[in-house]
Amino acid sequence: MANPSLLILPGDGIGPEVMAQVRRVIDWFGANKDLVFDVSEDLVGGAAYDKHGTPLHDDTMAKAQEVDAVLLGAVGGPKYDDLDFAVKPERGLLRLRKEMDLFSNLRPAQCFDALADFSSLKKDVVAGLDIMIVRELTSGVYFGEPRGIHKEGNERVGVNTQRYTESEIARVARSAFELAKRRGNKVCSMEKANVMESGILWRDVVQEIHDAEYPEVELSHMYADNGAMQLVRAPKQFDVIVTDNLFGDVLSDCAAMLTGSLGMLPSASLGLPMGNGRPKALYEPVHGSAPDITGQGKANPIACILSFAMALRYSFDEGANADLLEGAVQKVLADGVRTADLMGPEGGTPVSTGEMGDAILAALDAA
Ligand code: IPM
Ligand code: MG
């Protein structure tokens, strides 16, 4: 059988730096676990704009559709702030999500024991935290029509549209229930059914899918504003949270910060199964391109490395190897190896991006 294929899109800012460490991890699995990937690399975001005048070249889009999984670093940076909306780096990422139809975005927020002190919340509120946010990623206000800025009389009006079809809600709900079955068997669905019709429909459809197909999973509903409050009050009450595109964007950043560092969190964006049974998939760290530390060797590569672990788990059915990689990361953190973003009040000397990579490879060797 042919090797599984990976398209790597390092992107902008710290993207290339953290991705370089992922390449080393991929090579480690090839050399030590007989898990060889056909890896190709291409441009996305500002890097693609600089070369092609577009944040995602059509050839790159076509390649992304063909491979077994895409691994993305980060997009964006101040250099591109004044670009026309249509060619902003973020549009490259949004096009990938939309055209690959990656409707289910998995954003785990897990608190590593060694880092429980780093959260802005009290240690006992976050220690052992393990929640999964499932964010709808291809519809809602991000893509709804009409949209735009137009003139009414002598002032401008900005319009975006929140729009969801039943089938869009149903498929992401199923994906959340399936995940819950393999975890704590609980789903909390979040919307604003008190003010939005699309929220009423969301709540109805999630309930219908539950009753018809997943009655054994515990389901609750919450208004998204209360959800945000509960996430910082008592986050351990949650197992899987399912929500729309915009609420998911906000709530997942909130959940991410509970864990102490945005530099730690991976994500998976999954679509429908392809001919080979694997889902269309894109994996990326939750953090952005971090222009303030770009090129200084300070970036934490863990979120990107853990994104590759998610690829092993969700695209390649390599759960044991995903466990191995996640275990290596945990070991390194328990040993006190820290990039600058993970330095606590007690201080110490941070390691560089490459040294964090070294430590993780050494932990893999030792495992
Ligand atoms: C995210 C980001 C993106 C989003 C941006 C970069 C377009 O914030 O992945 O959460 O809003 O979806
Ligand atoms: Mg976001």
- Asked if residue 227 is part of any domain, the answer here is no
Question: Residue 253: which pLDDT band, with cuts at 50, 70 and 90?
Answer: confident
- Asked if residue 253 is part of any domain, the answer here is no
pLDDT tens track for 141-166: 999 999 999 999 999 999 999 999 99
- Asked if residue 134 is part of any domain, the answer here is no
The span from the CA of 137 to the CA of 105, in Å, is 6
Q: What is the DSSP letter of 333?
A: H
Query: What share of the chain has pLDDT > 70, as a percent?
Result: 100
192 is catalytic: yes
Name the nearest CA neighbour of 239 among 364, 361, 93, 109. 109
- Asked if residue 244 is part of any domain, the answer here is no
* Residue 132 backbone dihedrals phi, psi, to 5 degrees: -130, 120
Q: What is the pLDDT of residue 2?
A: 87
**Strand ranges, E, within the chain:** 5-11, 38-41, 69-74, 104-110, 130-136, 144-152, 155-161, 186-191, 218-223, 240-243, 266-273, 279-285
Residue 1 predicted with pLDDT over 80: no
Gap from CA of 344 to ligand 1 centroid (Å): 28
| Substitution candidate for ligand 1 out of 9, 93, 245, 269 with most atoms within 8 A of CB | 93
Mind giving me the DSSP string for 3-72?
PPEEEEEEESTTHHHHHHHHHHHHHHHHHHHS---EEEE---THHHHHHHSSSS-HHHHHHHHHSSEEEE
- Asked if residue 225 is part of any domain, the answer here is no
Q: What is the pLDDT of residue 68?
A: 97
pLDDT tens track for 268-310: 999 999 988 899 999 999 889 999 999 999 999 999 999 999 9
- Asked if residue 331 is part of any domain, the answer here is yes
Gap from CA of 200 to ligand 2 centroid (Å): 24
Gap from CA of 46 to ligand 1 centroid (Å): 15
Question: Residue 39: which pLDDT band, with cuts at 50, 70 and 90?
Answer: very high
Total of domains in the chain: 1
| Residues having CB within 6 Å of any atom of ligand 1 | 90, 93-94, 249
253 is catalytic: yes
Residue 365 predicted with pLDDT over 80: yes
CATH number at residue 64: 3.40.718.10
225 is catalytic: yes
**Which ranges of 182-218 does DSSP label H, i.e. alpha helix?**
197-213
Atom 9 in ligand 1: which residue has the minimum CA distance?
Answer: 286
Q: What is the pLDDT of residue 112?
A: 85
Which amino acid would we find at residue 68? D
* Structural domain harbouring 70: 1-112+259-367
- Asked if residue 198 is part of any domain, the answer here is no
Radius of gyration of the chain measured on its C-alpha atoms: 20
Neighbours of ion ligand 2 (CB under 5 A): 249
Q: Which of 130, 253, 323, 358 is catalytic?
A: 253
Confidence (pTM): 0.93
- Asked if residue 224 is part of any domain, the answer here is no
Gap from CA of 322 to ligand 2 centroid (Å): 25
335 is catalytic: no
